[in-house]
């Protein structure tokens, strides 16, 4: 009987230790995301350390016009670069908030660029009868996009982030310093996160 009681106590102690260990592990996992994001942000290069990529921006006529990255970032304005794609569901959900951001911050010296990671000449994944250039233009009209839209060169998205996730949003300060990098879109979190960091960039 004494052996049974001792065994039971040992088992209960082991169970308690296992439970406490899982709680600690859960807390570590819960804090790991903001910690790693902060580290990535601290190590992220300023735009002047990156290659001067040539963007292809859609004009009012629907044609494409080249624009150097150095002509936008680090030129005294806060710049928001959003990588997206027409086939990306979360990207579509994020567009209305970017439209609202443009309305709210354009007069304060903030410029937003929506850069598709698709090749403008290739067939669109959702509608192969159209090229990506036409699909992006049509989507811009359907979603009433009021900020500048275009295409990122192939290697630009990889240079900014290697995860391959879209949307991804980068906020640069007036001097070209990266203020914030946001992966994905959460309607309950991302809009406030973007606004808070745009305000931070404007005040820095």
Give the pLDDT confidence score for residue 97 in this predicted structure: 97
Phi, psi dihedrals of residue 61, rounded to the nearest 5°: -75, -10
Window from 116-120, 128-132, 163-167 with minimum mean pLDDT: 163-167
Model confidence at 51, pLDDT cuts 50, 70, 90, reads: confident
- In total, the chain counts a number of residues equal to 204
Residue 144 per-residue DSSP state: T
- Over residues 135-161, the mean pLDDT reads 94
At 77 the pLDDT is 97
- DSSP state at residue 71: G
Is the pLDDT score of 117 beyond 90? yes
**Nearest in space to 106 (alpha carbons), one of 98, 115, 94:** 98
- Residue ranges of domains in the chain: 1-43, 46-203
Task: Name the band, by pLDDT with cuts 50, 70 and 90, for residue 10.
Answer: very low
Least confident of 46-60, 78-92, 139-153: 46-60
The 10 Å CB-count burial string (b at 16+, else e) for 165-199 is: ebbbbbbbbbebbbbbbbeebeeeebbeebeebbe
pLDDT tier, 5 (very low <50, low <70, confident <90, very high otherwise): very low
Give the global pTM: 0.76
Over the stretch 149-196, which tens digit does the pLDDT of each residue have?
A: 999 998 898 888 878 889 999 999 999 999 999 999 999 999 999 999
Provide the 10 A C-beta neighbour count for residue 69.
Answer: 22
Q: Kindly report the CA angle at 192 between 186 and 194, in degrees rounded to 5?
A: 85
CATH topology of domain 46-203: Glutaredoxin (3.40.30)
- Structure confidence by residue, pLDDT tens digits, 54-73: 999 999 888 999 999 999 99
């Amino acid at each position: 009987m004494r052996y049974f009681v001792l065994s039971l106590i040992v088992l209960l102690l082991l169970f308690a230790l296992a439970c406490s260990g899982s709680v600690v592990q859960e807390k570590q996992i819960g804090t790991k995301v903001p910690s790693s994001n902060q580290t990535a942000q601290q190590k992220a290069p300023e735009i002047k350390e990156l290659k001067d990529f040539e963007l292809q921006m859609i004009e009012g006529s629907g044609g494409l016009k080249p624009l150097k990255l150095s002509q936008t970032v680090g030129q005294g304005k806060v710049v928001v670069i959003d990588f997206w794609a027409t086939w990306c569901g979360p990207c579509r959900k994020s567009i209305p908030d970017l439209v609202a951001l443009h309305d709210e911050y354009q007069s304060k010296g903030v410029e937003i660029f929506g850069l598709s990671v698709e090749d403008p000449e290739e067939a669109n994944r959702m509608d192969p009868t159209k090229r990506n250039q036409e699909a992006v233009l049509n989507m811009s009209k359907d979603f009433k996009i009021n900020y500048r839209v275009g295409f990122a060169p192939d290697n630009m998205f990889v240079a900014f982030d290697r995860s391959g996730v879209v949307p991804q949003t980068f906020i640069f300060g007036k001097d070209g310093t990266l203020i914030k990098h946001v992966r994905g879109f959460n309607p309950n979190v991302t809009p406030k996160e973007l606004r808070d960091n745009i305000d931070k960039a404007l005040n820095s």
